[in-house]
Amino acid sequence: MFTLLHTVASRLRPPSRTARSNGETRVLFWYSALARAKAVASCRYRIGNLAEVGHRVNVVIAEALPARALESTDALVVVRPYPTRHVLRALASAQRLGVTRIADYDDLLFAGSAEERPEVQSGGLTREWMERAHRAYASMLPAFDGYTAATDELAGELRAACPGAPVFVVPNGLSPAWIEQGRALYPRWWPGDSRVMRFFPGSPTHDASFAAIASGLAEWMRAHDDTELEIVGNLAWDASGFPSSRVRRIPAVPFDHLPRLLASAWVNLWPRAETRFNRCKSPIKFLEAAAFGCPTVASPSCARPELDCEGLVHATTADDWATALTRWRDDDARMRASESCMRFADERGGADRGWRALQHVVRSLRSVAA
């Protein structure tokens, strides 16, 4: 049974009643964080969605673990472990109790260039501060029995940092309840609806990514006066080249309202700068749009062999982006892409894949320890 031990989090839902607990190991997720509301949102894909589909799951989002939290678990999964006294103390306790210790990462925190981090790009943190943080994250790596990462690229970074260590991929996935609710409430785009392209930045790291496609996108929109663009969220960009009457900035919406914008979008834009940090990011921007039948045009840095979907096209040059967008002006082609997206999300985009992978990780590490 899923139990939230130390915080109130609406996005961390109980598991499906149809989930089976036979043979499942007991997992305790822990994100040691002070700002709990922000932490709950930021670890949605690494904790919340997995906890929704799994049985025998406990979750702690708090600076310290509650007393006796480790006494009824097989594995402690520490998300983005940082060397605080609380984390170090909990890992020592886990070792004494025979609890398998797993470090989980969904971003490149322990290596790479500080300049690529969104906190540095936005001016919120200095390069020197981030370099110290990288070293601190890296110092934690020897304290674990195994490691999980959201992508193959991030797993490769872990293997380079910890040669010979057991590293596994546990992919990010979507919440079944979130998809079900969104599909029930919001109809998907249909021929005759407005051709609104949407870009969901998410963080300041996307400023440079969008700037790389802005001029070509503006030129294409000037040639197609039935298209519109909405930027959803915080983005610093120059809109002067775009047709002003067809470009809008709108505030970020609560996560439960996001399906309304995804389902009604004609095309989802996913530009991403080619950096070591970005290559380690998961394809969640594509998966979220795909769940509601919205095709995506993306940068090459988003490409992965497993994302073989008719509704995902990669574009490098301005001509490539124009060709991809023009393709979906054909309503039949766009609707075929929409169907392909939804099939992909249903078959390979759910959090259940990540939960099965994590169960395999825990069983593998515990069998070696035994």
Query: What SS3 class is residue 50?
Result: helix
User: What pLDDT is attached to residue 205?
Assistant: 65
Chain mean pLDDT for the chain: 90
Q: Would the pLDDT of 2 be above 60?
A: no
Q: Retrieve residue 259's tokens.
A: 């399906």
Whether the pLDDT of residue 35 is over 70: the answer is: yes
Q: Is the pLDDT of residue 107 over 80?
A: yes
- SS3 letters across 56-106: CEEEEECCCCCCCHHHHCCEEEEECCCCCHHHHHHHHHHHHHCCEEEEEEC
The pLDDT of 341-360, averaged and rounded, is 96
| pLDDT-based confidence at residue 82 (cuts at 50, 70, 90) | very high
CB 92 within 8 A of CB 42: no
CA atoms within 13 A on the CB side of 321: 24
Q: Is the pLDDT of residue 3 over 50?
A: no
Residue with tokens 């609406």: 10
Range from 266-275, 295-304, 312-321 carrying the lowest mean pLDDT: 295-304
- In this predicted structure, what is the pLDDT of residue 7? 37
Contact in structure between 210 and 315 (CB atoms under 8 Å) = no
Predicted confidence (pLDDT) per residue in 6-28, tens digit: 333 333 333 333 334 457 899 99
Interaxial angle between packed helices 206-223 and 318-327, expressed in degrees from 0 to 180 and rounded to the nearest 10: 60
The percent of residues above 70 in pLDDT, for the chain, comes to: 93
pLDDT for residue 22: 54
Report which residue type is found at 98: G
Q: How far is CA 340 from the centre of its chain?
A: 21
Confirm if 357 and 53 have CB atoms less than 8 A apart. no
pLDDT given for residue 101 in this prediction: 98
Burial class, 74, CB count within 10 angstroms (exposed 0-12 / middle 13-18 / buried 19+): middle
Tokens encoding 129: 């501060």
* Token pair recorded at residue 160: 């380079």
pTM attached to this predicted model: 0.90
Burial class for 226, CB neighbours closer than 10 Å (0-12, 13-18, 19+): exposed
CA separation for the pair 65, 177 (Å, rounded): 28
Provide the token pair at 68.
Answer: 């006796």
Label the pairing between strands 312-314 and 247-250.
unpaired
Q: How many CA atoms lie within 13 A of 154 on its CB side?
A: 25
Q: What is the pLDDT of residues 109-137, one digit of tens each?
A: 999 999 888 778 778 889 999 999 999 99
**DSSP-assigned letter for residue 25:** P
**What is the DSSP code (8-state) at residue 48?**
I
How many CB atoms neighbour CB 304 within 10 A? 14
What contacts 251, CB < 8 A, 6 or more positions away?
232, 233
Tokens of 242: 């775009």
